[in-house]
């Protein structure tokens, strides 16, 4: 694992370190070109707790197409689909993000699926990790994930902004607003963090999504796959990480 760093251009008043982290890989060979993850902050940063914005979203994104994260002061859920960043607040309605919005945590990638497999109908979203590991050929590293189709029992959530002084992350999440969306078509995107990448992102599988034609969304709490759900994955080779210096 190698690191390089430089100052982030157009930074907010906080100083930054941009590190390129090269991940070791195992399993079947896939595309030869590098698949890099653009990331701001870490999950461990949020658990300090610290929800201070580390970067302007527009400044760190270039050609990424899917992603997830949150906003300064944990002001709702961030969902990126088709290159557009949406904010889902506790009213449950996704809205395009305003210019200049900042984030303490974001993960995004230019998604180029390397493996596409159908998900058996009735599969609970909580049980997707084994399918992702099988498709990736490894349980290590970071894997970008897209799951789309018709789901039943889809439940998402958002959280209310928590300004300083910050309470523990678990306390803020416990005050979440849940959205039971029932049976609907949805596109869920996110990342599976292996044991060798703990601390970078939320442990295990972390999914955000949009449903009901983009009228609903948020952090995915639960869902059940219908008969047309497809899993697509992309293994990550490098992580370009923005953190406080």
pLDDT band at residue 207, thresholds of 50, 70 and 90? very high
Question: Is-cis flag, bond preceding 165, omega within 30?
Answer: yes
Say which residue the tokens 């889809």 belong to. 154
Q: Mind listing the pLDDT tens digit for each residue in 151-202?
A: 999 999 999 999 999 999 999 999 999 999 999 999 999 999 999 998 899 9
The residues spanned by each domain of the chain are: 16-110+239-244, 115-235
124 vs 5, higher pLDDT: 124
Q: What is the dihedral of CA 48, 52, 57, 60, to 10 degrees?
A: -60
- The per-residue pLDDT for 245 is 64
| Mean per-residue pLDDT over the chain, rounded | 88
Q: Whole-angstrom Cα distance, residue 193 to residue 38?
A: 14
Say which residue the tokens 């994930």 belong to. 145
- Residue 90 tokens, joined: 């506790």
From the candidate CATH numbers 3.30.450.80, 3.90.1170.50, 3.30.1330.80, 3.20.20.10, the one assigned to the domain spanning 16-110+239-244: 3.30.1330.80
Q: Fold match between 16-110+239-244 and 115-235?
A: yes
Q: Taking the CB of residue 171, how many other CB atoms lie within 10 A of it?
A: 11
Q: Is pLDDT at 27 greater than 50 in this prediction?
A: no
Q: Whole-angstrom Cα distance, residue 76 to residue 156?
A: 12
- What's the 3-state SS for 74-89? HCCEEEEECCEEEEEC
- The per-residue pLDDT for 20 is 52
- State the average pLDDT over residues 45-66: 97
- Residue 9 tokens, joined: 């251009």
Overall fold of domain 115-235: 60s Ribosomal Protein L30; Chain: A; (3.30.1330)
DSSP 110: -
Q: Mind listing the pLDDT tens digit for each residue in 105-160?
A: 999 999 999 999 999 999 999 999 999 999 999 999 999 999 999 999 999 999 99
Q: Say if CB 63 and CB 75 are below 8 A apart.
A: no
Residue of 74, 62, 87 whose CA lies nearest to 218: 87
- The per-residue pLDDT for 198 is 86
- Residue 235 tokens, joined: 């293994």
- State the average pLDDT over residues 60-70: 97
């Amino acid at each position: 694992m190698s690191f390089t760093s430089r100052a982030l251009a157009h930074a907010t008043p906080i100083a930054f370190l941009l590190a390129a982290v090269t991940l070791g890989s195992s399993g079947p060979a896939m595309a030869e070109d590098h698949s890099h993850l653009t990331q701001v902050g870490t999950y461990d940063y949020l658990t300090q707790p610290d929800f201070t914005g580390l970067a302007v979203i527009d400044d760190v994104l270039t050609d990424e197409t899917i992603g997830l994260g949150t906003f300064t002061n944990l002001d709702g859920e961030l969902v990126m689909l088709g290159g557009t960043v949406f904010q889902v607040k506790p009213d449950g309605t996704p809205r395009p993000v305003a210019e200049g919005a900042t984030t303490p945590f974001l993960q995004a990638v230019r998604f180029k699926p390397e493996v596409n497999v159908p998900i058996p109908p009735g599969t609970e979203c909580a049980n997707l990790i084994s399918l992702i590991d099988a498709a990736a050929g490894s349980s290590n590293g970071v894997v970008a994930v897209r799951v789309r189709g018709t789901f039943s029992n889809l439940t998402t959530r958002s959280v209310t902004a928590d300004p300083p002084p910050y309470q523990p992350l678990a306390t803020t999440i416990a005050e979440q607003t849940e959205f039971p969306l029932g049976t609907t078509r949805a596109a869920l995107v996110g990342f599976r963090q292996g044991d060798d990448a703990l601390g970078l992102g939320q442990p295990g599988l972390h999914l955000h999504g949009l449903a009901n034609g983009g009228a609903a969304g948020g952090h995915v709490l639960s869902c059940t796959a219908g008969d047309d759900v497809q899993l697509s994955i992309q293994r990550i080779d490098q992580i370009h990480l923005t953190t406080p210096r």
